[in-house]
């Protein structure tokens, strides 16, 4: 694999990217389960990220193949903290270290390009893959919000993780 992060452009939006969100195990712990995804809608989303100076949306690429995304939000925070969220949408790339690579790369970018002091991320309790990705990258559990999320007809706890850079 030749993994890299690149700011996602409208031209990167393909039907394969849109199809990520029709896989039940991809959206079972995500607000994406409440949205419908279309080519036009994803292009608008990518465009809105490009025109928002508080966020950067990176595509995770294996060479030229778009396999996932990592979003960083809060770049203008006076507290120098930003939130991250990520997805490895191409299921062939799961459990191969792709999300771990993306988080580790965003940590470096956050220090060198954004001069941030802290990153944080929230996930639904039970999302073991996501929890391991954060813990492998040094994030620590800062809190548990009880019954904070409603996914697939159930109330789930939210685990809040943070990393002081």
User: What's the rounded Cα separation, in Å, for the pair 12 and 45?
Assistant: 12
**Comparison of 38 and 135: residue with beta carbon closer to ligand COA:** 135
140-151, strands of its sheet edge to edge: 3-7, 55-62, 65-73, 81-88, 118-124, 154-164, 140-151
Would you count residue 132 as binding ligand COA (CB under 6 A)?
yes
Q: Does residue 20 belong to the site contacting ligand COA (CB under 6 A)? A: no
Q: What is the DSSP string of 85-141?
A: EEEE-SGGGTTTTHHHHHHHHHHHHHHHTS--SEEEEEEETT-HHHHHHHHHTT-EE
- Give the tokens for residue 151: 């996914």
Residue 162 near residue 119, CB atoms below 8 Å: yes
Distance CA(111)–CA(130), nearest Å, equals: 22
Pick one of 98, 107, 159, 163: the residue that binds ligand COA (CB under 6 A): 98
Does position 107 interact with ligand COA (CB under 6 A)? The reply is: no
Q: C-beta of 139: minimal distance to ligand COA in Å?
A: 11
What is the separation of C-alpha 145 from the centre of its chain, rounded to a whole number of angstroms?
20
Considering CB under 6 A, how many residues would be counted as binding ligand COA? 22
30 or 42: CB nearest ligand COA: 30
Considering the complex, what minimum distance in angstroms separates the CB of residue 119 from ligand COA?
A: 13
- Give me the 29-48 binding string for ligand COA, x by CB under 6 A, dash otherwise: xx------------------
Tell me how far the alpha carbon of residue 18 is from its chain's centroid: 15
Task: Identify which range of 44-52, 73-81, 87-95, 110-118 contacts ligand COA by CB under 6 A.
Answer: 87-95
From 7-15, 43-51, 126-134, 140-148, give the range in contact with ligand COA by CB under 6 A.
126-134
Residues within the interface to ligand COA (CB under 6 A): 26, 29-30, 85-88, 94-100, 123, 127-130, 132-133, 136
């Amino acid at each position: 694999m030749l993994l890299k992060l690149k700011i996602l452009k409208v031209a990167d939006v393909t039907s394969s990217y849109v199809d990520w969100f029709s896989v039940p195990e991809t959206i079972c712990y995500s607000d994406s389960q409440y949205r419908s995804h279309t080519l036009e809608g994803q292009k608008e989303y990518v465009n809105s990220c490009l025109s928002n100076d508080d966020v950067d949306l990176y595509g995770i690429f294996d060479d030229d193949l778009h396999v996932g995304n990592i979003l960083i939000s809060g770049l203008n925070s006076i507290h120098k903290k930003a939130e991250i969220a990520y997805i490895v949408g191409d299921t062939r790339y799961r459990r191969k270290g792709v999300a771990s690579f993306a988080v580790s790369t965003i940590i470096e970018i956050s220090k060198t390009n954004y001069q941030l002091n802290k990153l944080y991320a929230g996930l639904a309790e039970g999302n073991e893959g996501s929890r391991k990705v954060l813990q492998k990258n040094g994030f620590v559990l800062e809190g548990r919000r009880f019954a904070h999320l409603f996914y697939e007809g159930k109330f789930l706890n939210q685990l809040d993780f943070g990393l002081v850079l």
